[in-house]
Amino acid sequence: MAKNNLISGSIWDEYSNQVVRRMDDPLHQGEITEEQADSLGAKLVVADFGAESCGDAVRLYWAVNEDTNEILSSKFKSFGCGTAIASSDVMAELCIGKKVEDAVKITNIDVELALRDDPDTPAVPPQKMHCSVMAYDVIKKAAASYMNVDMESFEAEIMVCECARVSLSTIQEVIKINDLTTVAQITDYTKAGAFCKSCIKPGGHEDREYYLVDILAQTRTEIEEQKMRDAADLSANDELTFDKMTMIQKLKHIEGVLDVDVRPMLIMDGGNMEIIDIKENMPHYDLYIRYLGACSGCASGSTGTLYGIESILQQKIDENIRVLPI
């Protein structure tokens, strides 16, 4: 694959293969016309959102079944950098098949995680993390238009940085996933605190309920406490059981089994797979995956291959794991 001309030198290594592929060849770029929506028996929804902080903009198209609220088709146009294109491409993909009320639950963290080649390696350099925030916001804009409500009605999150539209839960999760230790790192990854800076610490041009210095300190305390609990569990039980693991530990454990027992077979046939998400739907653990390469178009992906993957994970990790391809 030819290098994208927006990337050169060592910066190239900071982008996942997925990001580079979607920069060059996005799967869902384009538009949905009224005629196309009508042919699906769906309502056309078009929403625009621009990020004042970087000048990028995205237009999102949905074809929505008004009887079920299901998003039958989703496309985008992006006016911005390559990372914005890749983020918008994944964002549009994650919307397909979801009901509108579920699509608004997609966050910028979901978008960035879906762009990773593996769960432990960020998909983009920290200064480009904010591109996924725009994708997160345009979904809410589209849903508000479809449901004829204010965009703010979906704002269940506490916004710490109004300039970059970064929420408390996003900052906490980014700190935990990437093991951040400084406010500067938080700003690099999320853009929180990069502009007016009043959310960094008390004393800025306006008072805030939450400050990055306090969020970092509290989250680091939680991380260290969790490490101590994990160590205690390991000491008491020799090995931490799957149901007692944190979500990150669960993902690492599953990835380890896939790397040894599943991926080598898929790669031999020119394919591969990636984990999109894992959700607790007790008593089950629903593992959402995406097939890559030759596997993405293989009929066995929903039958024999799928059953084989699920069987291996149930035998080696937990009998309640269910594998769901998207």
CA dist 297 and 279 (Å) reads 25
Residue 131 known to be catalytic: yes
C-alpha distances in angstroms, 262 versus 33, 101, 272, 320, 321? 41, 34, 9, 18, 15
Q: Which residues pair with 320 in a beta bridge?
A: none
Domain that holds residue 218: 157-240
pTM of the model: 0.51
User: Residue 49: which CATH number?
Assistant: 3.90.1010.10
116: left (phi over 0), alpha (psi -120 to 50) or beta: beta
Verify that 45 and 114 share a domain, yes or no.
yes
Least confident stretch, 200-204, 205-209, 320-324:
205-209
Verify that 144 and 161 share a domain, yes or no.
no
Indicate which residue of 54, 95, 199, 295 is catalytic. Answer: 54
Q: Where does a domain end: 223, 240, 257? A: 240
When the pLDDT of each residue in the chain is averaged and rounded to a whole number, the result is 85
Which pLDDT belongs to residue 1? 39
- What average pLDDT does the segment 288-296 reach? 89
Which pLDDT belongs to residue 239? 62
Q: Where does a domain end: 206, 240, 274? A: 240
Residue 25 φ then ψ, to 5°: -145, 70
Q: Where does a domain end: 126, 148, 170? A: 148
Residue 173 φ then ψ, to 5°: -70, -40
| Cβ 291 vs Cβ 298: under 8 Å | yes
Report whether pLDDT(191) > 50: yes
Indicate which residue of 95, 131, 199, 295 is catalytic. Answer: 131
Which pLDDT belongs to residue 5? 42
Residue 81 known to be catalytic: no
In a domain, 120, yes or no: yes
Verify that 20 and 105 share a domain, yes or no.
yes
Q: How confident is the model at residue 4 (pLDDT cuts 50, 70, 90)?
A: very low
